[in-house]
Amino acid sequence: MAGQHILIVEFDRNPDSRFFLCRSCSTHITLSQEVVFEHKPTGAIIMKKAENVMIDHFTPWRRANRTTMAAVHCVRCFTGLGNFFVAVENPSDVFQQGFFLLSLRKLMYWNGSQVVDPMET
Ligand SMILES: [Zn+2]
């Protein structure tokens, strides 16, 4: 978004912190403590909260399994990172309105000492 000032949230990169970053531009996306579900084989990760992302209002919302989802992009590089749950008909601990379903393939991970590929750890 040229010409717009975007406030980028940054997490502390230290031995005690664990968080995910955009794989393309390293913008910080979410702390590990926000993650409620992770499935390595498919690269699916569900989190309560994500920073530095924008919900795509131009792409039509998708409906699947009684869930309505909007596409989510990194605010800095605009890479598609996954989806945002706009509405969930039968909420559970993992599926709730306002949660994010992102792809580990689009993310990197700060493990307390270095940035690693979350698909390989
Ligand atoms: Zn990015």
pLDDT of residue 4: 63
- Determine the distance separating the centroid of ligand 1 and the alpha carbon of 7, expressed in angstroms: 14
Distance 90 CA to ligand 1 centre (A): 32
Q: How far is the CA of 106 from the centre of ligand 1 (A)?
A: 9
Judge contact between 102 and 42, C-beta under 8 A: no
- Burial of residue 64 (number of CB atoms within 10 Å: 0-12, 13-18, 19+): exposed
Q: Tell me the pLDDT tens digit for each residue of 34-52.
A: 999 999 999 999 999 999 9
Compute the distance from residue 96 Cα to the ligand 1 centre, in Å: 25
Q: Output the six-digit token pair for 51.
A: 């920073």
- Comparing CA positions, the residue from 54, 35, 51, 50 lying closest to residue 94 is 35
| CB contact at 8 A, 34 and 18 | no
pLDDT, one tens digit per residue, over 55-103 is: 987 777 888 878 899 999 999 999 999 999 999 999 999 999 999 999 9
User: Would you state the pLDDT for residue 115?
Assistant: 98
Contact status, residue 118 vs residue 107, Cβ threshold 8 Å:
yes
* pLDDT, position 2: 52
Q: What is the pLDDT of residue 66?
A: 83
Quote the pLDDT of residue 96. 95
* CB of 114 closer than 8 Å to CB of 106: no
Average per-residue pLDDT for the chain: 92
CB hemisphere CA count around 97 (13 angstroms): 7
